[in-house]
């Protein structure tokens, strides 16, 4: 931020001139002035009392007087205890604003030369996506866009969990109860059809356990001996041996699921540069386990199972390969990490995975370090909390999961209802209205799930998320639509608003200055969100910008203004707010409407 740098430079000169103290400008921190005091930037004088040998208020007063005289950026000052509050000259704000207007890439980083891979979504092919997946998808997509905005080369990938006992459960239930049903014949999306058989497996399996317990068997024993569980395990073994019938059934059912997932991804507006499949990476994982044994960083137990000892890293011993040679999750993740690095030599590999896997990723990183892999240090687990609905937590196996497709449809219906009640669709064709409902629904859903720090567990309230007031997606979207209407009207009135059209304007209102301050902050916000992998910082910025603009809109007239330069400036200010609302929301994966 050029203005801040200039003021820091002036304070550095003032400390030298007034007190003979040398402090580099880069060491001088400025804070935004608190709302209740006049000023834009605040310099804290407490840390300098020793060096200067005076009290914090005396230091503030002397520096303030010097800056008012000598620094062209400073218009006025006030001192509150050890805080020197500086008011900035209007023309400085306007120069900054003109600079932003003419810089098309304002806020976006230069190419950094860093490669970052972001893995998100990572669904299982035995059931549809649910509410937890939505937070995952939106986080992964948004973090990718924010990292791109910081100048990094980003590759978005999806690791599909398409093998294992859970997949065989759906397959077995379909074999026994499916009667050749297909997505076409059932009228169900493919992922929903396969999910139906996953639930049916669980229902029958539980009945079998109860029957065995009724015959006097111990419950834990019954879980292992239930006929369907034994058959599912046999099916997994046949799959691993390449049995033609089992592999064909697996391919058919997976193809149904992928078609269903693709439809959901399109609806929710997320995409991927590459898909990885665990069925293709688990064998590579086994090779890495073998490599670890040869390097003597992994060890074999008497039963033939392979382990890594991570007690030195504050973790424990971890199983890498079962005694029968079958892989576990970590085996696959070792293989996938290697494959990903071969495809795209990354400086950082971000895994967007729920916080229940925190330990797993500590183990993965430590095991790769033991293997001496150059990419081990780049592994970063973007851990996020569960999403609850007001009615309680979701459970997939009982068939009471909060289905993503159903939730999206519910959001679209709510958007329709709210919008019709508020009469915001006059003059829309049915297609345009439908598009608006979808835009608002997705804006509400994404914004609500992204405005919370990823690490926090959260409660999602569909009704609250779609309100047109308060800290919501639709509030920010409505602000953009309102400005679009202003710009259309300005066009009809022939009002121009390029920088030259308000060259001699210098009478800024406080609310206009507040809006410019928000615009100026955009680069710092993008940088911070990228450093912390936190879309919540962008969401909060979009809300504060929209709020500042709405205050300006209520307090200051645009079209009734008689001074042509002032009017042009206000239209230009509106256009820039629309631009940065649009840019911010785009980083969250949210579209903003032109009309509402």
Mean per-residue pLDDT over the chain, rounded: 93
Helix, strand or coil, per DSSP, at residue 392: strand
State the pairing for strand pair 317-321/306-309: antiparallel
Gap between the Cα atoms of 425 and 345, Å rounded: 49
Burial class (CB in 10 A: 0-12, 13-18, 19+), 250: buried
Q: For residue 72, give every residue at least 6 positions away whose Cβ sits within 8 Å of its Cβ, in sequence order, or none.
A: 89, 92
Could you tell me which of 71, 96, 93, 78 has the C-alpha nearest to residue 39?
78
Give the whole-number percent of the chain exceeding pLDDT 70: 98
Contact 449, 442 (CB under 8 A): no
Gap between the Cα atoms of 70 and 72, Å rounded: 6
Domain ranges of the chain: 1-88, 415-588
> pLDDT band at residue 401, thresholds of 50, 70 and 90?
low
With tokens 């007034």, the residue in question is: 18
Q: Which of 28-42, 383-397, 458-472, 567-581 has the highest mean pLDDT?
A: 567-581
> pLDDT band at residue 399, thresholds of 50, 70 and 90?
very low
Could you tell me which of 2, 8, 1, 3 has the C-alpha nearest to residue 84?
8
User: What pTM does this model have?
Assistant: 0.90
With tokens 């430079």, the residue in question is: 9
- Is the pLDDT confidence value at 396 over 80? no
Element (H, E) at 525: helix 522-532
Residue ranges in 556-594 assigned as alpha helix (H): 564-587
Mean pLDDT of 59-74: 94
Mean pLDDT of 104-122: 96
Q: In 10 A of CB 190, how many CB atoms?
A: 25
Helix, strand or coil, per DSSP, at residue 323: coil
Helix, strand or coil, per DSSP, at residue 380: strand
Give every strand in the sheet of 153-160, ordered side by side.
274-277, 153-160, 115-119, 348-354, 379-384
Please work out, in degrees rounded to the nearest 5, the angle formed at the alpha carbon of residue 465 by the alpha carbons of 448 and 134.
Answer: 45
> pLDDT band at residue 398, thresholds of 50, 70 and 90?
very low
Element (H, E) at 446: helix 430-450
Give φ, ψ of 128 to 5 degrees: -70, 170
- Is the pLDDT confidence value at 576 over 90? yes
First-to-last CA distance in the chain? 34
Mean pLDDT of 255-270: 97
Could you tell me which of 482, 466, 480, 497 has the C-alpha nearest to residue 568?
497
1-88: CATH topology is: Gyrase A; domain 2 (3.30.1360)
Contact 437, 474 (CB under 8 A): no
Mean pLDDT of 246-258: 97
Handedness of CA 502, 104, 526, 584 (dihedral sign): positive
Please work out, in degrees rounded to the nearest 5, the angle formed at the alpha carbon of residue 545 by the alpha carbons of 542 and 546.
Answer: 85
Q: In 10 A of CB 330, how many CB atoms?
A: 20
> pLDDT band at residue 36, thresholds of 50, 70 and 90?
confident
Contact 519, 581 (CB under 8 A): no
Query: What's the pLDDT at 283?
Result: 86
Gap between the Cα atoms of 483 and 467, Å rounded: 19
Q: Which two tokens stand for residue 197?
A: 């058989």
Per-residue pLDDT tens over the stretch 418-450: 888 887 778 889 999 999 999 999 999 999 999
- Is the pLDDT confidence value at 395 over 70? no
- Is the pLDDT confidence value at 247 over 90? yes
> pLDDT band at residue 1, thresholds of 50, 70 and 90?
low
Give every strand in the sheet of 299-300, ordered side by side.
299-300, 306-309, 317-321
- HEC states along 274-286? EEEEHHHHHHHHH
Query: What's the pLDDT at 419?
Result: 87
Could you tell me which of 578, 568, 389 has the C-alpha nearest to residue 477?
578
Mean pLDDT of 357-372: 95
* Chain center to CA of 356: 18
Contact 126, 167 (CB under 8 A): yes
Residue 457 zone, left/alpha/beta (φ > 0; ψ -120 to 50; rest) = beta
* Chain center to CA of 36: 33
Please work out, in degrees rounded to the nearest 5, the angle formed at the alpha carbon of residue 263 by the alpha carbons of 259 and 268.
Answer: 145
Per-residue pLDDT tens over the stretch 277-335: 988 888 899 999 999 999 999 999 999 999 999 999 999 999 999 998 877 889 989 99
Q: Which two tokens stand for residue 107?
A: 């806020």
> pLDDT band at residue 49, thresholds of 50, 70 and 90?
very high
Mean pLDDT of 132-146: 96
* Statement: 415-588 belongs to CATH 3.40.50.300: no
Per-residue pLDDT tens over the stretch 457-469: 988 888 889 888 8
With tokens 């608006």, the residue in question is: 436
> What is the DSSP secondary-structure string of 218-263?
-HHHHHHH-HHHHHHHHHHHHHHTT-HHHHHHHHHHHHHHHHHHHH
Query: What's the pLDDT at 282?
Result: 81
Residues facing residue 23 across a β-bridge: none
Give the whole-number percent of the chain exceeding pLDDT 90: 79
Gap between the Cα atoms of 158 and 313, Å rounded: 29
Gap between the Cα atoms of 63 and 68, Å rounded: 9
Per-residue pLDDT tens over the stretch 474-533: 999 999 999 999 999 999 999 999 999 998 898 899 899 999 999 999 999 999 999 999
Mean pLDDT of 376-396: 78
């Amino acid at each position: 931020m050029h203005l801040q740098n200039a003021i820091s430079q002036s304070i550095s000169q003032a400390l030298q001139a007034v007190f003979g103290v040398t402090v580099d400008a880069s060491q001088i921190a400025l804070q935004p002035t608190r709302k209740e005091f006049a000023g834009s930037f605040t310099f804290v004088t407490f840390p300098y009392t020793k060096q200067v040998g005076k009290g914090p208020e005396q230091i503030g007063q002397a520096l303030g007087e010097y800056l008012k005289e000598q620094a062209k950026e400073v218009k006025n000052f006030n001192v509150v205890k050890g805080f020197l509050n500086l008011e900035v000259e209007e023309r400085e704000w306007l120069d900054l604003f003109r600079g932003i207007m003419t810089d098309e890439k304002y806020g976006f980083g230069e190419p950094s030369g860093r490669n970052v891979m972001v893995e998100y979504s990572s669904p299982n092919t035995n059931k549809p996506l649910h509410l937890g997946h939505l937070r995952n998808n939106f986080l992964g997509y948004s973090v990718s866009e924010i990292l791109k905005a910081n100048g990094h080369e980003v590759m978005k990938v999806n690791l599909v969990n398409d093998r294992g006992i859970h997949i065989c459960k759906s397959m077995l239930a379909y074999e026994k109860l499916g009667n050749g049903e297909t997505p076409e014949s059932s009228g169900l999306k493919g992922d929903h059809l396969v999910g139906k058989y996953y639930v049916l497996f669980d229902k029958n399996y539980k009945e079998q356990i109860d029957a065995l317990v009724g015959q006097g068997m111990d419950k834990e024993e019954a879980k292992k001996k239930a006929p369907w569980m034994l058959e599912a395990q046999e099916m997994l073994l046949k799959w691993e041996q390449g049995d033609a019938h089992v592999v064909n059934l697996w391919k058919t059912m997976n193809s149904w699921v992928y078609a269903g997932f693709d439809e959901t991804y399109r609806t929710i507006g997320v995409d991927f540069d590459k898909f990885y499949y665990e069925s293709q990476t688990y064998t590579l994982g086994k090779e890495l386990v073998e490599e670890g044994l040869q390097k003597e960083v992994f060890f074999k137990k008497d039963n033939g199972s392979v382990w890594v000892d991570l007690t030195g890293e504050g973790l424990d011993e971890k199983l890498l390969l079962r005694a029968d040679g079958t892989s576990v999750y970590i085996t696959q993740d070792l293989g996938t990490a290697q494959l990903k690095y071969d495809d795209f030599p990354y400086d950082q590999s971000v895994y967007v995975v729920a916080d229940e896997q925190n330990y797993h990723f500590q183990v993965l990183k430590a095991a790769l370090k033991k293997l001496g892999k150059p990419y081990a240090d780049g592994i970063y687990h973007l851990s996020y909390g569960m999403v609850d609905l007001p009615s309680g937590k979701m459970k997939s196996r009982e068939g009471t999961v909060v289905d993503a497709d159903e939730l999206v449809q519910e959001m679209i219906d709510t958007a329709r209802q709210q919008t019709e009640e508020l009469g915001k669709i006059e003059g829309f064709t049915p297609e345009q209205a439908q598009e608006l409902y979808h835009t608002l629904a997705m804006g509400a859903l994404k914004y609500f799930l992204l405005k919370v720090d990823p690490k926090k567990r959260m409660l999602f309230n569909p009704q609250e998320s779609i309100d047109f007031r308060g800290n919501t997606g639709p509030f920010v979207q409505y602000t953009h639509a309102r400005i679009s209407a202003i710009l259309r009207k300005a066009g009809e009135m022939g009002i121009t608003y390029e920088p030259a059209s308000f060259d001699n304007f210098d009478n800024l209102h406080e609310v206009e200055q507040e809006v410019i301050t928000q615009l100026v902050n955009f680069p710092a916000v993008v940088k911070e969100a990228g450093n912390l992998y936190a879309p919540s910082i962008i969401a909060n910025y979009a809300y504060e910008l929209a709020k500042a603009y709405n205050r300006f809109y209520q307090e200051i007239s645009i079209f009734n203004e008689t001074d042509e330069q002032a009017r042009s400036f206000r239209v230009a200010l509106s256009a820039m707010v629309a631009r940065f609302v649009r840019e911010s929301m785009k980083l969250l994966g949210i579209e903003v409407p032109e009309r509402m």
